Amino acid sequence: MILEIATMDIVAGKNQPFEEALDKAQHVLRQSPGYIRHAFHHGIEQPARYVLLIYWESLEAHTVGFRESPLFTEWRALIGPFFAKAPEVQHFTGIL
């Protein structure tokens, strides 16, 4: 299992419409083969920052199965307009 951590900084003052878009986007995400579960978090000290935690069966489930699919295009169309800069995405594997 792989954990994708995406840090997203959005345009200031757009929290409510971004969160509404995330609500729609999560339904797109759930359709992807290899998707396991997710959680979205909102920054306290930095209110325009969000962290998305998404668990995948494998790295390829995310980087190929999702990112190279029409689902990613739909996902990005929903949330991409709110980005202040490109998201930072990293992948992690459990050790314990």
**43-87 per-position pLDDT tens digit:** 999 999 999 999 999 999 999 999 999 999 999 999 999 999 999
Tell me which residue range forms the domain holding 43: 14-83+88-92
Number of domains into which the chain is organized: 1
29-40 confidence digits (pLDDT tens): 999 999 999 999
Identify whether 27 is part of a domain.
yes
We report the CATH number of the domain holding residue 47 as 3.30.70.100
Identify whether 5 is part of a domain.
no
Identify whether 67 is part of a domain.
yes
CA distances from 21 to 39, 43, 57, 65, 79 (A): 15, 17, 25, 22, 6
Q: What whole-number distance in Å separates Cα of residue 93 and Cα of residue 65?
A: 18
Assigned token pair, 5: 């951590």
Q: Residue 24 has what pLDDT?
A: 97
Strands 35-42, 2-9: pairing is unpaired
Q: What whole-number distance in Å separates Cα of residue 10 and Cα of residue 18?
A: 8
Identify whether 8 is part of a domain.
no
Q: Residue 89 has what pLDDT?
A: 98
Identify whether 36 is part of a domain.
yes
Identify whether 69 is part of a domain.
yes
Identify whether 31 is part of a domain.
yes
Q: Residue 35 has what pLDDT?
A: 98
DSSP for 20-68, written as a single string: HHHHHHHHHHTTSTTEEEEEEEE-SSSTTEEEEEEEESSHHIIIIIITT
Identify whether 7 is part of a domain.
no
pTM for this predicted structure: 0.93
Q: For the chain, give the mean pLDDT.
A: 97
pLDDT band at 18 (very low <50, low <70, confident <90, very high): very high
Q: Residue 96 has what pLDDT?
A: 87
